[in-house]
């Protein structure tokens, strides 16, 4: 019997019989996955973007030319390169170009504004950024606010229309945004280059110098305190979950995958993009969600696989044109970020005989650490520990492992777990514990495991709001709000929302000098101008004072309980 089958855990009784408990991933770089798929499938569409089809060898050629440009700009092994754009072919090209240049991808949420972007330049010591036109001005503005020694040296800017014929732009709510071409900004201490100019070169490629243990991606995650922290992922952690996701889902080169979850997020990046390229599948890319466009793309391209957040499915099923769409090609539908309502999951089962497969993971675990078996999923459940993953439930105080049914903190061990937090040895040390001689990551999520080994989320140890699958960290929003001249104090909590599940609420104490001069809507409008839209408080409530403990700390939980979610 293989070693991977020797240690029995409760969930092994429901384990898919076709799969081993653990996986031996390729001992190569992530770049090799693209290069190998291009050699295997030279005529295969890799990326579909509206009217444009990029085949695998074309994708490789573009990525190599951009990698050569990055090398000429001074990018060397281990350097961090910021990547900031919505889903589009250029994001995939740039992601792999950075890896081919032996460098590290720093994916940034394109909803972030200048106030937030400074951190993503300074913390990773980035000297080069590749961005979309709609965020270029914010990136340049953030850069201009930095001292000369911390600024970017090069900015590469693409317009979304660089990737398709504008005359064939889709009908979508965001059509005008997609078609807009933005002027190139000035970079305070460096050069700005257009996408086409960056790729139009015959520069030499650097030798390939990176392997499984080298740093590949530095995605940032926020937390209960302070600024977002970079999660150090080597090639091997993403490689494991790309290969394991493919194996788990029976993926082949015949897969046609709708890629609408954002690739700046770990799920879209690993479980969808890297996993699909690993097997040579076709990615049908959407830059933003639009239910009518999604319906047309699934129907027209015979999409077989769709990873999403539940609100997308709810929205598509609610379309007045839903009967016109042919979803019969779908063989897999699933996702995470928020629980799928049981009634919606039941409708999918009745209409298409599709079981909605929910999963769970964090930026620190390269997306899936848990997922449901396709043949035996449970609804509103995180699933069972993923391939090669050992997960337990422990008492967060005593660190004792708890039996099935008892609530505790979910901890995770496996090859998908990150190396630690960038420049934060203190935070890294606090995030790990040792159990049975193995290093486990503390998720900060409270859950329980049932008798069959399925995990369920019950509460959060960490202070966090989940708005339509986007994680909002109150401490980060509060830190941004304190920059408003009228705000003396702010406490951010969760409020119930029928569509988003949860939404952001801010309880604000105004400075005496501004009382009566500033409205709740003024605060909301300011937040919209200074932070990513998903972080913006939808509700602002003024208060004379915030509740405090005997030591003077703001008692956010008191406000949260008053709001109705303890």
pLDDT digits (tens, 9 = 90+) for 492-546: 999 988 777 889 999 999 988 899 999 999 999 999 999 999 999 999 999 998 8
For residue range 554-563, list pLDDT tens digits in order. Answer: 888 888 888 8
Q: What angle do helix axes 291-301 and 310-317 make, rounded to 10 degrees?
A: 90
Mean per-residue pLDDT of the chain: 93
524-to-24, 43, 44, 142 alpha-carbon distances in Å? 50, 50, 47, 22
More confident: 273 or 500: 273
Residue 87 has φ and ψ, to the nearest 5°, of -55, 125
For residue range 348-373, list pLDDT tens digits in order. Answer: 999 899 999 999 999 999 989 999 99
The pLDDT of residue 551: 60
Provide the 3-class DSSP secondary structure of residue 400: coil
pLDDT at 7 over 80: no
Report residue 225's pLDDT band, with 50, 70 and 90 as the boundaries: low
Q: Which of 15-24, 26-35, 485-494 has the lowest mean pLDDT?
A: 485-494
Domain extents for the chain?
465-563
pLDDT at 115 over 50: yes
**Burial state string for 531-547 with b = 16 or more CB within 10 A and e = fewer than 16:** bbebbbbeebeeeeebe
The pLDDT of residue 340: 81
pTM over the 0.85 mark: yes
Provide the 3-class DSSP secondary structure of residue 42: coil
Taking phi first (over 0 means left), then psi (-120 to 50 degrees means alpha), and beta for anything else, what does residue 460 get? beta
Handedness of CA 33, 35, 37, 39 (dihedral sign): negative
Residues 6+ apart with CB under 8 A from 38: 46, 56, 57, 59, 60
The pLDDT of residue 461: 66
Query: What is the arithmetic mean of pLDDT over 373-386?
Result: 92
> Is the CB of residue 309 less than 8 Å from the CB of residue 271?
no
Report residue 95's pLDDT band, with 50, 70 and 90 as the boundaries: very high
pLDDT at 2 over 70: no
The pLDDT of residue 224: 64
Residues 6+ apart with CB under 8 A from 264: 83, 84, 85, 91, 107, 108, 109, 110, 219
> Is the CB of residue 485 less than 8 Å from the CB of residue 514?
yes
pLDDT at 249 over 80: yes
For residue range 304-346, list pLDDT tens digits in order. Answer: 999 998 889 989 998 999 999 999 999 999 998 777 888 888 8
Query: What is the arithmetic mean of pLDDT over 14-19?
Result: 94
> Is the CB of residue 71 less than 8 Å from the CB of residue 206?
yes
Strand partners, 295: none
Report residue 1's pLDDT band, with 50, 70 and 90 as the boundaries: very low
pLDDT at 24 over 70: yes
pLDDT at 463 over 90: no
Query: What is the arithmetic mean of pLDDT over 250-277?
Result: 97
Query: What is the arithmetic mean of pLDDT over 477-490?
Result: 88
pLDDT at 39 over 80: yes
CB count, 10 Å around CB of 248? Answer: 24
465-563 maps to which CATH number?
3.30.300.30
The pLDDT of residue 344: 85
């Amino acid at each position: 019997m293989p070693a991977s089958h020797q240690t029995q855990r409760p969930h092994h009784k429901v384990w898919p019989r076709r799969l081993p408990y653990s996986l031996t991933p390729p001992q190569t770089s992530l770049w090799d996955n693209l290069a190998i798929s291009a050699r295997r499938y030279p005529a295969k569409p890799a990326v579909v973007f509206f009217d444009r089809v990029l085949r695998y060898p074309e994708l490789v050629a573009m990525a190599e030319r951009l990698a050569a440009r990055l090398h000429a700009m001074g990018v060397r092994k281990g350097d961090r390169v910021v990547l900031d754009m919505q889903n589009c072919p250029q994001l995939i090209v740039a992601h792999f170009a950075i890896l081919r240049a032996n460098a590290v991808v720093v994916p940034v949420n394109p909803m972030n504004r200048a106030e937030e972007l400074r951190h993503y330049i300074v913390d990773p010591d980035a000297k080069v950024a590749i961005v979309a036109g709609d965020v270029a001005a914010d990136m340049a503005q953030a850069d201009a606010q930095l001292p000369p020694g911390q600024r970017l040296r090069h900015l590469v800017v693409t317009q979304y229309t660089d990737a398709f014929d504008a005359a064939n732009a889709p009908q979508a709510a965001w059509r005008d945004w997609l078609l807009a071409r933005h002027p190139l900004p000035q970079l305070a201490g460096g050069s700005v280059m257009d996408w086409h100019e960056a790729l139009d070169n015959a520069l030499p490629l650097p030798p390939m110098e990176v392997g499984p243990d080298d740093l590949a991606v530095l995605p940032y995650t926020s937390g209960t305190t302070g600024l977002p922290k970079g999660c150090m992922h080597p090639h091997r952690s993403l490689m494991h979950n790309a290969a394991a996701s493919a194996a788990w889902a029976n993926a082949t080169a015949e897969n046609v995958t709708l890629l609408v979850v954002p690739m700046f997020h770990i799920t879209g990046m690993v479980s969808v993009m890297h996993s699909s390229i690993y097997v040579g599948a076709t990615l049908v890319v959407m830059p933003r969600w639009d239910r009518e466009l999604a319906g047309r793309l699934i129907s027209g391209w015979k999409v077989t696989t769709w990873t999403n957040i539940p609100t997308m499915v709810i929205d598509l099923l609610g379309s007045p044109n839903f009967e016109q769409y042919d979803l019969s090609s779908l063989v897999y539908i699933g996702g995470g970020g928020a629980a799928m309502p049981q009634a919606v999951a039941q409708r999918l089962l009745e209409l298409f005989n599709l079981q909605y497969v929910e999963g769970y993971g964090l930026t620190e675990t390269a997306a899936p650490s848990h997922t449901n078996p396709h043949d035996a999923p449970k609804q509103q459940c995180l699933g069972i520990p993923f391939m090669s993953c050992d997960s337990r439930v422990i008492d967060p105080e005593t660190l004792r492992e708890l039996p099935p049914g008892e609530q505790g903190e979910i901890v995770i061990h496996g090859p998908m777990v990150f190396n630690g937090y960038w420049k934060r040895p203190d935070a890294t040390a606090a995030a790990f514990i040792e159990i049975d001689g193995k290093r486990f990551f503390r998720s900060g999520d409270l859950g329980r495991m049932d008798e069959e080994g399925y995990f369920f989320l019950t509460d959060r140890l960490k202070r966090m709001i989940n708005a339509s699958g986007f994680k909002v960290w109150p401490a980060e929003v509060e830190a941004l709000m304190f920059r408003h001249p009228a705000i003396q104090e702010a406490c951010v909590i969760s409020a119930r929302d029928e569509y988003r599940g949860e939404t952001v609420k801010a309880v604000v104490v105004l400075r005496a000098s501004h009382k009566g001069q500033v409205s709740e809507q003024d605060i909301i409008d300011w937040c919209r101008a200074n932070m990513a839209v998903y972080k913006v408080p939808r509700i602002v409530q003024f208060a004379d004072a915030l509740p405090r403990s005997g030591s003077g700390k703001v008692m956010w939980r008191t406000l949260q309980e008053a709001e109705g979610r303890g």
